Structure 1
Amino acid sequence: MKKRVFKYRFVYWLIISLNFFLFISFSIGLINRIETDNFDNSIDVFSFTAIIMICILSLSSLIMFIVKNKNSIITFSAVLFLILLIISFFLFYSIFIIKDFGENVTDFYTVPLVYGIILGILFITNYFKFKKNINELEIEEIGQKQN
């Protein structure tokens, strides 16, 4: 029997391509962050470490999905959850510290759109994961022939 991660092959390839896209985009962001070499305050250091963590987790999740490891869904969910936490942190930083949220009209619909997309991907990932169909037997039924 083949190893499976998701019930449907379409979901598997969608998550693989999304994971590859996340790894490539955060790798490019990491390279750009290293080239600028601008670590003046703690926010820059925080964003740099967050980019490194997402890049490493995304690569390990991609490898796990290719190998079809059962923990790949947990790792990919951790990547998405980490992205949500970082977006939330910088949103609160923009609202309460810098106080520049809402100067542009797009601020009000891009954040809920990004949250909705990431939460939708989390839902799809966890809803369509493959579960073995093992029927639990009761103690009285063990050793008896039943059709």
Structure 2
Amino acid sequence: MACAFQRDKEYSRYRSVIKLMKEEALGIDCPVTCITCCRCVKSCPEDALSLTSKGLIKLDSEKCTGCRTCERVCPVGVIEFDEAPLFCTNCGKCVKACNLRALSLAECADLPVPPAEKDVESLTPVAKRYRWVLGRATELPWVKEEDVRVYR
């Protein structure tokens, strides 16, 4: 909510670049964020996306035609459209707002490796997020591999 409020001055989980995925049966409540794989930057036909010196994705809204290619190629499903795609600005409001201290600003070298394009190309953004979260679920001590297989 802090993410959306920082940008739009309204609380909206849909306007946040952090997507929260919940799976009650497995006890998972997990934020999904950009992993800076740059597939969106490389695939943009209008060169509307670029990578900043701080490792963030930057949108040139004047070049963006709304083709949604970036949304389709995002392997973890965090790019969604309103009038334009939404990207993290690394403002840190989410980190400050998280009362559990579960979020931190990561260095690009610490980010996880994205799934192969062929594994996610036909999935919706929500399905990509679930696949990402379930793929990392066994890192939680209370989640067993056989439980995750039921959900995949």
TM-score normalized with structure 1 length: 0.25
TM-score normalized with structure 2 length: 0.24
Q: Which has the larger radius of gyration?
A: 1
Which of the pair has the greater relative contact order for Cα pairs under 8 Å at 6+ separation? Answer: 1
Greater share of helix residues, 1 or 2?
1
Greater share of strand residues, 1 or 2?
2
